[in-house]
Amino acid sequence: MKHWILLALLAVSTSAAAESGTALKSDSLRAEPFGDAKAVGSIARGDKLDIVEKKGAWLKVKGTKTSGWVRLLSVKRGALGKSDNAAGVLDLASGRSGTGQVVSTTGVRGLSEEDLKAAKFNEDEMKKLEANGVSADEARKFAASGHLDARKLDYLPAPQGEAE
């Protein structure tokens, strides 16, 4: 019985400790973990943050001035190194973070073939999705700011036994 109490206390104490993080880019802080939630503040690239909670692809963070929800990919857990920008981008791209280099992913899982066949077009949701897009010129400027080069890639060959 004493072991269970000790484990429960340990779990509570470790979950209460906030993890530190650094803003990878400027972004809005939201009142709730949704893209259309009310903006309650903002963070700037390099801001030091305390990560309070994680919910799906969102992190609840506390900055020096305000707190709120921000997209997971806007924050690097731990400190952002001054001369290690390339490693930070590679860590972000691979999903690796922290000292243990644990891989984390975000996405949607659990949709069956029947769910996909029964899906219906929703114009309002498409408008929300399209509102997050950027122009080709904005994408090129963003890539240039990260010193990324354009490369042409050939399509993968069709799998054996399948028609094109």
Query: Which one, of 94, 89, 112, lies nearest residue 104 by Cα?
Result: 94
Q: With a cut of 80, say whether residue 2 has pLDDT above it.
A: no
Q: Which domains does the chain have, with CATH numbers?
A: 17-106+121-145 (2.30.30.40)
Query: Which one, of 63, 75, 25, lies nearest residue 45 by Cα?
Result: 25
Task: With cut-offs at 50, 70 and 90, classify the pLDDT of residue 122.
Answer: confident
Q: With a cut of 80, say whether residue 81 has pLDDT above it.
A: no
DSSP states along 19-69: EEEEESS-EEEESSSSTTSPEEEEE-TT-EEEEEEEETTEEEEE-SS-EEE
Name beta bridge partners: 21.
49, 77
Q: With a cut of 60, say whether residue 87 has pLDDT above it.
A: no
R_g over Cα of the chain: 20
Check: CB of residue 68 under 8 Å from CB of residue 41.
yes
pLDDT at 86: 45
Mean pLDDT of 12-22: 63
